[in-house]
Structure 1
């Protein structure tokens, strides 16, 4: 095949040299030469189509088995070319050349494969020099920014808003009036409750007087009945009265006693039934409630802070704010916090007092520091159909950066652990087999496995510590596309970067 290519190359080169020295051909001459070249290519293609690789990988013409003719008959040549070669003759010159080149390439590949030219090159691997670095394990979490103290101001009073005293962005103090409601109906309700209370008190006073007089008379009746019964007892003993008279005086005494004991006595004085005292208590409670509602007609802030939302306006009813939003939202923006929910699988790495680096789009690439100040004692559902549980934590923003505001989402990175001047490898260089983790290096163009334990891990790298006593050295050729297929001693071929 090589000899064929060389001869063809020499022939074409000589032809080009002859063309360069000869006068410029006319159109007929050009067509004649192209036809000759096309016929030559056809002959070469026919020769190639009859050459196939032998079992030894060399190209030799295969001998075609001839069909035997009936006895006594000679096989007649047909004079026809194979159908494929006839189709080739119909191809364009360019297509013939491309087909010949591709066919030659296939023949070369098959020859190499048959001769085992690639079997000793080894497993292709990519490597980087092993080096010592610093590594940090971080936990990145997102959450809303809020004030350290916040309150939604609402009212359950069905009263019209008459005055608005603040707007969004105003600083307010605890107890400051934010809005005033219509007091007309509230003042009327207070008056009605006051009248009911006064009536209950007066009723009890009247009943106390009646009870005192009634009790006093009952005592007197009891004393008289007692004296009558004692006298009748003596008379009965002397036979002066009958048994029936004695029993009648005894019954009168018992009736007087029951009458006297039916009164409520306080300090020896009869007082009204306890139900009248209960009526006074109920009336007093209702009066205090109406007074409180009247007081609440002045809507006040319960904290020091900034008015961050105003959802009400003059003319609305306080309990009918649009979309059931609070009338006002107030937050203490002097100190900000992030409310973040941590997976149950990571919460063990979080501790109160841990530092955090906080970033947000509003900071334009800057960061602020934070500190974990609270970890919830209970978990909650993550939601979204997940069975995972999450635990809320609070990170307090430090430094008072004025660019960070409440109501946005920020990211906090918690530093879990770090290591310096240690051997660090990319995750792609690690592989597991059984219960062990390995890295692999190239030594004398062969694989050497090294079992390791992992130290500090980041998202893409890990600290490695050999467990078999191997001493790692900077500059070792670390295989970055490692896997269990890399057995100890396996030949490798280092791929260029």
Structure 2
């Protein structure tokens, strides 16, 4: 309605102007001379008809931070006022920390005690492990002592038996035994030489790949057996010689029996000592396990103490309320001398270096927004227009069937406030690739929209099809109209088809207006 009213007023003004001009020019013209109508013209442009759609929005703080200390204490200081701008890390308020300091000292002392407990438990474990290791070494020595005592006992029995057997034998028998042992030794040595030669021959055959590994190993085993035979023969000879020597001496059977008994007792004592060592090892290992459990308990206690210290430090840090980010103080609760109970934020900050312009759009408007795109945002109250970025487009409608859209705009100079009215200006293409004429050039002749084309000082009436009309430009379709055609925009209501015209259009010097005239896209802005 407002657009039509303005248009009627403009048309009436043009009519009055051109009636006056026509009357002045016709005073000296005879009745036989054709009247020339002064007109103003513009060019037809080929392009797209666009326009800005204005969508109402409201600014909101980019984020709000509620500062809620986790302690209950008296408020000692409040260093800011509502509306103050603060920097990150700035101290905003201070709570009484006397009790918190004492609590932290107590927790730290408990932590140190827990560390000492671990040190003592680890020392106990090391001592138990050392005792267990000593007992295991002693057990190995006990096994050796048992074997040695057993061998001595067996040797004493053998000596006694031999003494009893040899007591009644003659020296001749002993000498024959020695001689026989010597012959056996010679035979064993010859057997060893034969086995070694056979082994060396087998080694050569094996190296030449003529016998198997198993056959070589059998030859080597034969050498070892021959060595054992030599050793056995040597032992037999030694025994025979000893036997001969013993026969040559006077036998003492009682002494030998005493040796056997003493060796038996030593053997029994060694076995008893081993049993005692095994008991000691079991006790030492149990002590190691117990010490390990004590260390685990001490570590658990130390971890609890560490957590308690951290909590006490956090509580102490909460006594000093700092700004986690730069922003503006939006709300305050509490004054110096009052008790803070932790039920509500002591301060609320708003980050105002950037704002959100939040609009609720219809499903049809939703297609105009895409996250990441830039849009123009106008703030009528401060007469400012800037560019913002679409940061959020709702995927579901609210209870009113509208879709919230958020556009982030920079507010580094803090000139904008949260809660003010904003307008999102969305450029929309109404008609693509059409002929664009000034809306004021289109008139209705005989019920059809038409324009006058001015060519060679003659006005030609051309019917057009209006595709879409906006306040400044109208998209039309016409066979007799082309890009660059000159059409009448002033004085057309005094024209008839074929009328003589004079183009009195003034050439504008303003470069900006000239650029707008040459722009291929045109349109208007929706209110």
Question: Could you tell me the TM-score, scaled by structure 2's length?
Answer: 0.47
Who wins on radius of gyration, i.e. which is larger? Answer: 2
Question: Could you tell me the TM-score, scaled by structure 1's length?
Answer: 0.49
Q: Please identify which structure carries the higher helix content.
A: 2
